[in-house]
Amino acid sequence: MNLANLLKIALKALNNNKLRCFLTMLGIIIGVASVITMLAIGQGSKNSIKAQISEMGSNMIMIHPGNMQRGGVRQSADDMQTLEVADYEALKELDGVAAISPSVNTGGQLVNGNNNYPSTIYGVNADYLDIRKLKVKDGTIFSDHDIQTAAKVCVLGKTVVDNLFPGGEDPVGRVVRFGSIPLTVIGVLESKGTNSMGMDQDDVVLAPYTTVMKRVLAIDYIQGLFASAVDEERTEETIDAITETLRSRHRLKDDADNDFEIRSQQELSEMMNSTSDMMTVLLACIAGISLLVGGIGIMNIMYVSVTERTREIGLRMSIGARGIDILSQFLIEAVIISVTGGIIGILVGFLASWLVTVIVHWPVAIQMYSVGLSFVVCTVTGIFFGWYPAQKASNLDPIKALRYE
C-alpha cells in the first residue's frame, strides 16, 4: 500500500474523532509553547543583564584596598590605606588601561536654601564618566585645573537635582552646601534610572577627587580606583598588569597576599549569566515535562484507538494488508497528531512570548533553535509514543481480530 493511501486512511480516522484528536494535541501544544516561552524568558533576562552591565561599563575594573592582618587582627577594607595617588599615576601609564579614575566618597546632607537631601559625594576625575558610561546633560564636567586646585565644584545626578530644586529651576551656576562646604554646580548628569540591583543611579554627586580628599574627608589616600581596559578581550591581561604594578609599588614579597582587591565586570557578568542559565534550564525542564505528558497522551489515545478498531484491522489484514501497512498507518496518525500539535504550539509560543512582553513587561528573546528543537522533539515524541500501539496493531491475529467484540 502506498504512502498516499496510508495518509488518506490516517486522516479519515482522525477526522472521525476530532475532539479526541484535539485533546490529544493539547498536551503537545502546551508543551511546545511552554518550552519556547520559557527559553525566550530566560534568554531575554540574560540579554537584559548583559545590556545593563554594558551600560555600567563591560570592561570596567574596580580596585579597592584588601583585607589584611596586623598584629593578629584582621583589618577591614575601610580601615586600610594601601592605595595612594601615586598608584593612580603609575597605573594610568599602563598600555592596557584606556581610562582610570581615583575614587573617594562619603555620605552627607546636601542643602539648597530650604531644601535638603541626603546623598553620597564621589571624588573622581573626568575619566570616571567614560568608565561608568555617564554623560553630562547640562553644563560641563570639572577640568584638570579644578582637580589640581581642589576647586569647590560639583556635578549633580537627576534625583539630587529634583530634590534640591523642586521648582524646576536650572541648577547650573547655583551654590549648594555639602555639610558646611559650599559647592558650585557646574553640570547635571543624564538620567540612567535604577540598575538591576534596584539602586538609583541618579542619586549621585560628583566632585574632583582632590576636593573630597582635602576639603571633605581630610585624608591623603584614596579609597579605590576605577579603570577600563582598552577592550573587553584584554580585561584579564590588564588586570594582571595592574596586579604586577601594584605589588611592585607596595613592595610585597612573592609569598605575601595582595593588600588590594581587583574586581571586573566580567566576573559579575559570568556570575549573573551562570545564574540565568540555571534558571533557563530549570524552566525548560519544567516545560519539557509538559511535552512528556503530551507524548503519554498520544500513546494512551493510540492504544485506545487500536482497541476500538481491532475488527477493522482484522478485516484489512484478511484482504491482504501486511503488518507493515498497519504499523505505518498508526505511526502516521501519531506523527500527524504530534506534528500538527507542534506547529500550533510554536504559534502559541510566539503569541505567549509577545503577551509576556506586553502585559508583564519582561524582556523576552525567542531563540530559533528552541523552535527547531521543539518541532523535532514533538515529531520524535509522536514516533516514540506511537510505536508501541502501532506495533501491537500490526501483530494482531486476523482471525482473532475479526472475532473481537
Alpha carbon 252 to chain centroid distance?
Answer: 39
What is the C-alpha separation between 116 and 398, in angstroms, rounded? 94
φ, ψ of residue 54 in degrees (nearest 5): -65, -40
* Calpha distance 177→167 (Å, rounded): 18
Q: Which residues contact 233 (CB under 8 A, 6 or more apart)?
A: none
Which residue stretches of 58-187 are H helix?
85-91, 127-131, 144-148, 158-164
Name 20's Cβ contacts closer than 8 Å, sequence gap at least 6. Answer: 301
What CA–CA distance (Å, rounded) separates 116 from 109?
7
Sequence letter at residue 220: D
Q: What is the CA radius of gyration of the chain?
A: 34
Q: What are phi and psi of 282, to 5 degrees?
A: -60, -45
Count of other CB atoms within 10 angstroms of residue 374: 25
Domain borders along the chain are 3-52+271-403, 99-228
| Cα 165-168-169 angle, rounded to 5 deg | 75
Give pLDDT, residue 235: 81
What are the helix (H) ranges across 58-172? 85-91, 127-131, 144-148, 158-164
Q: pTM for the complete prediction?
A: 0.63
Within 13 Å and on the Cβ side, how many CA atoms surround 206?
Answer: 30
> Residue 120 is which amino acid?
T
Where are any strands of DSSP class E within 73-195?
73-75, 97-112, 115-124, 136-139, 153-156, 175-178, 181-189
Amino acid 182: pLDDT:
93
Q: What pLDDT score does 42 carry?
A: 81
Strands 181-189 and 224-229: unpaired
**Sole residue written with cell 611592585:** 248
Cα 345-350-352 angle, rounded to 5 deg: 90
DSSP labels, 49-79: HHHHHHHHHTTEEEEEEPPEEETTEEEPGGG
Q: What's the grid cell of residue 341?
A: 500539535
Instruction: Give the burial string for 9-29 (b: 16+ CB within 10 Å, else e).
Output: bbeebbeeeeeebeebbebbb
Return per-residue pLDDT of the chain as tens, 405 residues.
566 776 776 777 677 777 878 887 888 888 888 888 888 888 887 787 777 766 666 678 888 887 655 554 555 545 567 888 899 999 988 888 888 999 999 999 999 988 999 999 999 999 999 888 888 999 999 999 999 999 999 999 999 999 999 888 889 999 999 988 999 999 999 988 776 666 788 899 999 999 999 999 988 889 999 998 887 778 888 888 999 998 888 888 888 888 888 888 776 777 777 777 787 788 778 777 877 777 777 777 777 777 777 777 777 777 777 777 777 777 887 788 888 888 898 899 899 999 988 888 888 888 788 788 877 877 787 777 777 777 777 777 766 656 655
**154 close to 183: Cβ distance less than 8 angstroms:** yes
DSSP 298-330: HHHHHHHHHHHTHHHHHHHHHTT--HHHHHHHH
